[in-house]
Structure 1
Amino acid sequence: MKRILLLSGGLLLASAAQAQLGLRVGANVTSLTTRPDQPNVAEKATGRVGYQLGMFYEQKLSSRLSLVPEVQLSRQNTSLDISDYTISDGGYQAQYRLGLTYLQLPILLRATFGKFFVEAGPQVGYLLDAHRTGTVDMSTIAGLQHFTVDDRSLKGYERFDVGASAGLGVKLPAGFVLGVRGYTGFRSLTPKENSITRLRAMKGQTVQASVSYPLKAWR
């Protein structure tokens, strides 16, 4: 029994010695998938630049493979142009910018080949903030109404996001790492079309470019 405990402890220490903690910062561009325009209904989403920052923990599984869980704060920005003239007594037009802030947890399997690596895995996110700014025009039998929108509310949005990430990178001198990653969400941004944003089912798609820096390995 003592030998088994000593062997298990040695394996845990050896595994911990291969663990690496690090920091990651970068920029992203996010857009939303839109369904084909329908009669009297149109949506257009344009990606805008955002950012992400966080920490990663790389655990070696073999000489080439490692498991890399991360925790990151991600600000994702999109411009939206929506028109809806299916309303019986008028229409709706909106042009606004949507900023979403997520706490994200990617869990990636990384394969390293010399200075280069590829990685892929699932990602979950929790929506912390939603900020919508822009203008809305509504026409009814009573006339045209124009007003400015500056709304910071989580109402009308799904709090949890689930999807998959994949990317590649290269290790640079002095320990820095450059990476590019793509993410596709599996869930809609909104549970259904709602009266707050007039968004139909839309899924997020994000491209990230980042710089990572590994800190000292755990000993």
Structure 2
Amino acid sequence: MNLSTTYNRMKNPIRLALTTLLIVVPLTSTAQIGKYRNTFSIGANAGAALSSVGFDPSVSQGQHVGLTGGLSWRYTSEKYFSTICSIAGEVNFAAIGWKEDIRDANDNPVVNTNGSVEKYSRTLNYIQIPVFAHLAWGRENNGFNFFIQAGPQIGILLSESTDRNYDSPNLDAQSGRSNTTVEQESMKVENKFDYGIAAGAGLEYANSHIGRWMLEARYYYGLGNIYGSSKRDYFSKSNIGNIVIKATWLVDLSK
């Protein structure tokens, strides 16, 4: 993959990250204007991840559904006019990957020579560490607020597993797959380190007796590839993308 293609693929996520920094840096660098805060919170999160892999050549896919959860923390530094400014992070376990949508030329499920409707999915178990600029508007304590957050995320692959019900795919011209890209089915992940940009939005309810509860929808765009992407490799692109719906609970340790 040439430098121009790489640049074009990375341009929009990098623009998102730069925009986030341009918003957050002026806020955090003018603490004398805002109202100082010193609230450190820790807790836990859990949810579901709907993921896929952006292959090129393309692979027909549905959504791979897996669980994610781990530890959360947040440090609130100030309230700038009506904006509550924080930095937040997580250390999560996430079961992500891809699930193939195997169809023939007539958009019907493909039946293998063993008599089964072909099914294939790959689960990739990661430790993921995102760090966010977190901005919120509304009630800081004892009420609701709306928040957005964005920042970088890294991931380390722990293990992978495959769920398939055939030995060889049906590639027959009449009854077989319309999408004949199958190399990924026998390839182990080559790059165990993943990185990208994550951004989300949600609602938080804070109560002095039960802590802080958040419900969030988040999108992650991987900037790395799980397979090699040089000219001699089969795939020029194989980046992870996922949508995460999760709940988080935090308790304040200091104010």
TM-score (norm 1): 0.70
Change in CA separation of 1:104 and 1:28 when aligned onto 2, cut-off 3 Å = same
Alignment of structure 1 residues 76-115 onto 2, 5 Å: 76-80=96-100, 95-114=119-138, 115=145
User: How many angstroms apart in 1 are the aligned matches of 2:160 and 2:188?
Assistant: 9
Q: Does 1:26 align with 2:47?
A: yes
Change in CA separation of 1:162 and 1:82 when aligned onto 2, cut-off 3 Å = farther
- Other-structure match for 2:250: 214
- Other-structure match for 1:182: 219
- Other-structure match for 2:78: 62
Q: Deviations over 1:84-104 (max 9, x none)?
A: xxxxxxxxxx85210001001
Of 174-183 and 18-27, the range deviating more from structure 2: 174-183
Computing the radius of gyration from Cα coordinates, the structure with the larger value is 1
Q: Deviations over 1:134-168 (max 9, x none)?
A: 134269xxxxxxxxxxxxx9944311000000000
Q: Is this contact kept in 1: 2:38–2:78, CA < 8 A?
A: no
Change in CA separation of 1:138 and 1:56 when aligned onto 2, cut-off 3 Å = closer
- Other-structure match for 2:18: none
Q: CA deviation at 1:199?
A: 6.2
- Other-structure match for 1:50: 66
Amino acid at match of 2:194: D
User: How many angstroms apart in 2 are the aligned matches of 1:187 and 1:18?
Assistant: 34
- Other-structure match for 1:163: 196
Amino acid at match of 1:67: I
How many residues align structurally?
A: 175
- Other-structure match for 1:73: 93
Q: Deviations over 1:69-110 (max 9, x none)?
A: 210111114213689xxxxxxxxxx85210001001100000
User: How many angstroms apart in 2 are the aligned matches of 1:112 and 1:74?
Assistant: 26
List runs of 5+ in structure 2 lacking aligned partners: 1-35, 104-117, 139-144, 171-185
Amino acid at match of 1:113: W
Alignment of structure 1 residues 136-175 onto 2, 5 Å: 136-137=167-168, 155-172=188-205, 174=210, 175=212
Q: Does 1:205 align with 2:241?
A: yes
Q: CA deviation at 1:32?
A: 1.1
Q: CA deviation at 1:45?
A: 2.3
List runs of 5+ in structure 1 lacking aligned partners: 1-14, 38-42, 84-93, 140-152
Q: Is this contact kept in 1: 2:120–2:162, CA < 8 A?
A: yes
Alignment of structure 1 residues 106-125 onto 2, 5 Å: 106-114=130-138, 115-125=145-155
Q: Is this contact kept in 2: 1:29–1:208, CA < 8 A?
A: yes
Q: Deviations over 1:156-200 (max 9, x none)?
A: 43110000000001013653111110000001111259xxxx866
User: How many angstroms apart in 2 are the aligned matches of 1:199 and 1:35?
Assistant: 6
Counting strand residues as a fraction of each chain, which structure ranks higher?
A: 1
User: How many angstroms apart in 2 are the aligned matches of 1:131 and 1:185?
Assistant: 20
Change in CA separation of 1:55 and 1:162 when aligned onto 2, cut-off 3 Å = same
User: How many angstroms apart in 2 are the aligned matches of 1:16 and 1:172?
Assistant: 18
Q: Is this contact kept in 2: 1:177–1:213, CA < 8 A?
A: yes
- Other-structure match for 1:3: none
User: How many angstroms apart in 2 are the aligned matches of 1:56 and 1:16?
Assistant: 19
Identity percentage over the alignment? 23
Amino acid at match of 1:100: L
Q: CA deviation at 1:33?
A: 1.1
Q: Is this contact kept in 1: 2:154–2:195, CA < 8 A?
A: yes
User: How many angstroms apart in 1 are the aligned matches of 2:102 and 2:235?
Assistant: 8
TM-score (norm 2): 0.61
Q: Is this contact kept in 1: 2:71–2:92, CA < 8 A?
A: yes
